[in-house]
Amino acid sequence: MPVRSLDALFSALEGALEAGDEGALLALYLPTSVIRHNLGSNSFDCTSEEAATDRARLGIPIRAHLRRLDVDGDSAHGELVWAIEGVTSDGTGLALHGTATLTCTEVASAWYIASETVTCTQAAGLSCASPSPSARR
């Protein structure tokens, strides 16, 4: 379902992250989007499909809220603040938080996420430098 406004895009993203809804997450990204993860001194890229799968696989909500949004015509840059705290589906205790910088674009009157850079700024109970198995491909 196309998202017709930036407010709706970020609201849908926050809801999908909280719910761990893989399909809803994937619908918000362009098929060509790349997600870069900056984890301490390590970084890696993954596709939107890999990121959506990994986020849903956690089995705990990702709380996020929009901190800043800059719009320039059919392009926008947003900054989210996010946090994850709980026990994953495999029993791993997890407490992480950070930011995500997103570049969004309007295509055929609908807004999509074109790229995302996720930065982990705090970790407890899990090394932030350990990417998920699908992200290490």
Q: Do the domain assignments include residue 85?
A: yes
Q: Do the domain assignments include residue 129?
A: no
CATH number at residue 93: 3.10.450.50
Number of domain units in the chain: 1
* pTM of the full structure: 0.85
Q: Do the domain assignments include residue 134?
A: no
Is beta strand 42-47 parallel, antiparallel or unpaired with respect to 75-87?
A: unpaired
Which pair of tokens denotes residue 9? 């895009």
What domain range is 38 assigned to?
Answer: 6-124
Q: Do the domain assignments include residue 135?
A: no
- Burial of 68: CB neighbours in 10 Å, binned 0-12, 13-18, 19+: exposed
**Arithmetic mean of pLDDT over the chain:** 88
Query: Around Cβ 79, how many Cβ atoms within 10 Å?
Result: 14
Q: Do the domain assignments include residue 64?
A: yes
Confidence category of residue 123, pLDDT binned at 50, 70, 90? low
Task: Give the pLDDT confidence score for residue 108 in this predicted structure.
Answer: 94
Q: Is the pLDDT assigned to residue 93 strictly greater than 60? A: yes
Task: Give the pLDDT confidence score for residue 122 in this predicted structure.
Answer: 72
What residues contact 7, with CB distance under 8 A and at least 6 apart?
A: none
What residues contact 55, with CB distance under 8 A and at least 6 apart?
A: 17, 20, 22, 25, 62
Confidence category of residue 1, pLDDT binned at 50, 70, 90? low
Q: Do the domain assignments include residue 41?
A: yes
Task: Give the pLDDT confidence score for residue 114 in this predicted structure.
Answer: 98
Task: Give the pLDDT confidence score for residue 88 in this predicted structure.
Answer: 87
